[in-house]
């Protein structure tokens, strides 16, 4: 546990230092360059690209969470049960469209920039959150449901005090999966001029500069690791009642 926490901290510090002072790491990336190319991407500051990247992923995941959890709650109520197959189909369709295809289709409508990327990430991230929210809500045992009704909770109280808290760890797991998929997928947003870490990767590919590619990929990877472990810790916090069982 201690080693895990320390390595998490190390990744975070390393990333912070690299983003603040990328030039300190020139020597590290220089071997990947040819013919005296620049070792560090300087067209845009890496820090800004990272913050934009994070903001786009956060916005898409947040919107996806609201819609997916809302939908899952709706179709698990008695009144909304008949919409369950339909909403499953919709969420599945979102996952089936490759994000690149969504980008290509969205650009004529939404123009170049951040908007089509947000749309692609939002659609692509819906399914894991939706399916996990459904599974979490379905996992609440009938006895517990019965007890909640029997103690005199209204439908709303049952949802907020019993069903959602019990489903929360599973829901957060869905958000975590969705967020780390989006973290990687957001890089392709730079093909339609969204300002993400994909920019360095694309620049590197165009100029055959492996150093740029590596920088973008390493930062995205580190972000994914940090987001994954943080959300995992939150997930564990909300399921602590399951842990120390005798």
Partner 1 sequence: MIEIEHLSKFFDETCVVDDVSMTIPDGALAVIVGTSGSGKTTLLRMINRLVEPSSGRILIDGKDISAIPPHELRRQIGYAIQSHGLFPHRTVGQNIATVPHLLHWEATKVNARVDELLDLFQLDPAEFRDRYPSQLSGGQQQRVGVARALAAAPKLLLMDEPFGALDPIIRARAQEDLRQIQRRLGTTIVLVTHDMNEAIHLGDRIAVMDRAKLLQYDTPQEIVTRPATDFVGELLGSGERPFRLLSLQPLRPFIEQGEATGTAVSVDASLRDALEEALWSGRAAVPVRDGAGKTLGRVTLATAIRQAARPQ
Note the residues at the interface with partner 1 (CB under 8 A). Answer: 141, 143-144, 146-154, 157, 162, 165-166, 241-242, 244-246
Distance CA 150, CA 221 (A): 49
Question: Which letter does DSSP use for residue 239 in this model?
Answer: T
Burial 138-155 (b: 16+ CB within 10 A, else e): eebeeeeeeebeeeebee
Q: Which residues of 24-44 are buried (b: 16+ CB within 10 A; e: fewer)?
A: ebeeebeebbeeebebbbeee
Nearer to partner 1 (CB atom), residue 2 or residue 246: 246
To partner 1, the closest distance from the beta carbon of 233 in angstroms equals 18
91, 126 in Cβ contact below 8 A? yes
- CA pair distance 232, 127, nearest whole angstrom: 19
Q: State the nearest-atom distance from the C-beta of 240 to partner 1, in Å.
A: 8
Minimum distance, C-beta of residue 75 to partner 1, in the bound complex (Å):
23
Closer to partner 1 by CB, 70 or 165: give it. Answer: 165
Distance of CA 216 to the CA centre of its chain: 17
CB of 108 or CB of 152, closer to partner 1 = 152
Nearer to partner 1 by Cβ, of 24 and 241: the residue is 241
Contact 211, 29 (CB under 8 A): yes
Smallest distance from partner 1 to CB 150, Å: 4
In angstroms, what is the minimal distance from the CB of 115 to partner 1?
39
Which of 109, 97, 102, 118 lies closest to 53, judged by CA? 118
8 Å CB contact between 95 and 124: yes
DSSP letter assigned to residue 151: T
Q: How far is the CB of 81 from partner 1 (least distance, A)?
A: 19
Give whichever of 96 and 151 is closer to partner 1, judged by the CB atom. 151
Q: Which residue, 23 or 143, is less far from partner 1 as judged by CB?
A: 143
């Amino acid at each position: 546990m201690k080693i895990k926490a320390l390595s998490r901290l190390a990744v975070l510090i390393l990333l912070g230092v690299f983003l603040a002072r990328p030039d300190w790491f020139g020597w590290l990336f220089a071997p990947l360059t040819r013919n005296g190319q620049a070792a560090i991407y300087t067209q845009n500051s890496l820090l800004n690209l990272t913050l934009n990247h994070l903001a786009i992923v956060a916005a898409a995941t947040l919107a996806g969470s609201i819609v997916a959890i809302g939908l899952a709650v709706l179709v698990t109520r008695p009144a909304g049960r008949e919409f369950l197959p339909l909403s499953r189909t919709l969420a599945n369709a979102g996952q089936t469209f490759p994000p690149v295809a969504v980008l290509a289709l969205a650009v004529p409508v939404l123009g170049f920039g951040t908007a089509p990327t947000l749309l692609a990430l939002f659609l692509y991230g819906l399914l894991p959150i939706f399916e996990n929210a459904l599974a979490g809500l379905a996992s609440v045992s009938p006895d517990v449901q019965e007890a909640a009704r029997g103690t005199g909770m209204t439908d709303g109280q049952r949802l907020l005090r019993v069903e959602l808290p019990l489903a929360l760890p599973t829901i957060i797991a869905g958000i975590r999966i969705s967020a780390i998929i989006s973290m990687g997928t957001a890089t392709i947003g730079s093909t339609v001029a969204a300002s993400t870490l994909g920019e360095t990767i694309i620049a590197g590919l165009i100029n055959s500069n492996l150093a740029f590619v590596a920088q973008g990929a390493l930062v995205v990877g580190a972000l994914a690791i940090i987001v994954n472990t943080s959300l995992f810790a939150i997930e564990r916090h909300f399921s602590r009642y399951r842990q120390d069982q005798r």
